[in-house]
Amino acid sequence: MAITATQTTVESAIELPDLRQENGREADSSETGPAQGPDQRLNKSVYLKIISAGFSFFVAGVNDGSIGALIPYIIREYDISTAIVSSVYGANFLGWLFAAFANTHLCQYLNLGAMLALGAVFQIAAHALRSWDPPFGLFVVTFWLVSVGQAFQDTHANSWVASAVPKGAHRWLAFIHAMYMAGCLVGPFVSTAIASAGDVSRWYLFYTFPLALGVVNLGLTCVAFRDTLELHQKTVTSESSGRTLGETAENPNEAVSRNKEATQLIKKTASTPSVWLLSLFFFFYLGSVLTAGGWVVEYLVNVRHGDLSQMGYVPAGFSGGGLLGRLLLAEPTHRFGERRMVFCYIVAAIGLQLIFWLVPNIIAASIAVSLIGFFTGPLFPTGISLGSKLFSPDIHSTALPLVFVFAQMGGSLFPIITGVVSADAGVRVLQPILVALLATTAVTWMLVPSPKSTSNTALHQE
């Protein structure tokens, strides 16, 4: 997403990229949008940005996918209950909440590349702190740091990809979200291998792996988005002649103006019903996914009496299924209708969850978990694709973070509820909670409005 130095609204922070310039050509005034023609017209710099966006999702996936596998070790290392360990999800939510409010204001001062780089720095800081076995309180704080970093990178990478290639956006969104699931697939394998090797009290050494990935992520971001790493500059126009006088340094009046613009966009976002309806869907969807991924290992160890060193790989099956689902189901979902196909996927996931619950067999449970990941995998990129059509382009930088905050609210709240309830009733409460969450996800999906054809056209023409 190219961001010019002279634009003064938040729309410039998440505006559609000028692929005419990125492809080294100037389009004439008759062109209707920035991405005329098929995807292959994109040049190397655009593909490099897509790869960078995908890698940032991979790094986030490694972090998120490892949590469920490490929770049993965290509980035993710090000698805490399931209710206390759930605080990591609370810190995660607070980080996303902070980022949602900070993002719109930061976009007044930072360009796309700078926002993405800032997100990468936050994640590096979190993993650096984790890798030296910090006290539990500081360990919880790192989840706030990493979620702020993910929020900045996920929001802007999603917005850029959704707008960069309108004719193939669903494929590129499927790609970057598949990279997230690839990270979730790698995370449990690496974390379980390190945590179960030799001295299990040194499980925290796993975080040197995402730390190294985070450094690569920052470097790749700075190279791919080097054209938008600078700060926003405003221009002053002569009131008498209307001529542009040039860029000016930041002054108090300008800061007030930028904050006022951000506040206006927040109000516009809050008054858009589709933002709240889509947020409600993500609230229950991500709540079900992260609850399943976070507690499935503890469930299999305590209820099904599985071996801890082996059960840690089960979340990898869920992530592997999600990876395949996002790669293989993107095109059928697009061709046969997003609303119809997503509803069918959720119904299939509910059936598989019932099998997981009612069939007391670890192998059957592992297969069911993988298939649940396969059918729920396309839900996130499909929801983001739908949101890019429903929301007007000028509120993307505010609406998408709000959607993500609600998603993370569900992804934090329901694992916390599961942990608190299981502290008394046992972790077997996971199954009825998951069935209820998936059923509610199906209902909320039906409440999300269908985008008007004009909305999509407007998106292409920005």
CB neighbour list of residue 318: distance below 8 Å, 6 or more residues apart? 184, 292, 293, 296, 369, 370, 372, 373
Task: Please give the span between the terminal C-alpha atoms of the chain, in angstroms, as a whole number.
Answer: 12
Question: Residue 118 corresponds to which tokens in the numbers above?
Answer: 């800032």
Q: How many domains does the chain divide into?
A: 1
pLDDT in tens, 124-149: 999 999 998 899 999 999 999 999 99
**Which pLDDT belongs to residue 423?**
79
Task: Please spell the DSSP secondary structure of 257-324, one letter per residue.
Answer: HHHHHHHHHHHHHHT-HHHHHHHHHHHHHHHHHHHHHHHHHHHHHHTS---HHHHTTHHHHHHHHHHH
CA distance 164 to 2: 9
- 348 domain residue, yes or no: yes
Q: At 431, which amino acid appears?
A: Q
- 31 domain residue, yes or no: no
Question: Residue 342 corresponds to which tokens in the numbers above?
Answer: 């997503």
**Which pLDDT belongs to residue 412?**
77
- 35 domain residue, yes or no: no
CA distance 132 to 450: 49
**Which pLDDT belongs to residue 285?**
94
**Which pLDDT belongs to residue 251?**
52
Domain that holds residue 175: 11-19+42-234+249-461
pLDDT in tens, 179-192: 988 998 898 889 88
**Which pLDDT belongs to residue 351?**
94
82 with 422: CB under 8 angstroms?
A: yes
Closest CA relative to residue 351, chosen from 375, 329, 335: 375
- 342 domain residue, yes or no: yes
- 243 domain residue, yes or no: no
- 27 domain residue, yes or no: no
Which segments of the chain have a pLDDT < 70? 1-42, 165-169, 198-200, 231-260, 262, 397, 453-462
Question: Residue 420 corresponds to which tokens in the numbers above?
Answer: 């608190």
Closest CA relative to residue 291, chosen from 145, 447, 436: 436
- 25 domain residue, yes or no: no
Question: Residue 109 corresponds to which tokens in the numbers above?
Answer: 């001062």
pTM, to two decimals:
0.73
pLDDT in tens, 233-282: 544 444 444 444 444 444 555 555 666 676 777 788 778 888 899 999 99
Q: At 214, which amino acid appears?
A: G
Phi, psi angles (nearest 5°) of residue 237:
-110, 135
CATH number for the domain that contains residue 70:
1.20.1250.20
- 241 domain residue, yes or no: no
CA distance 116 to 135: 29
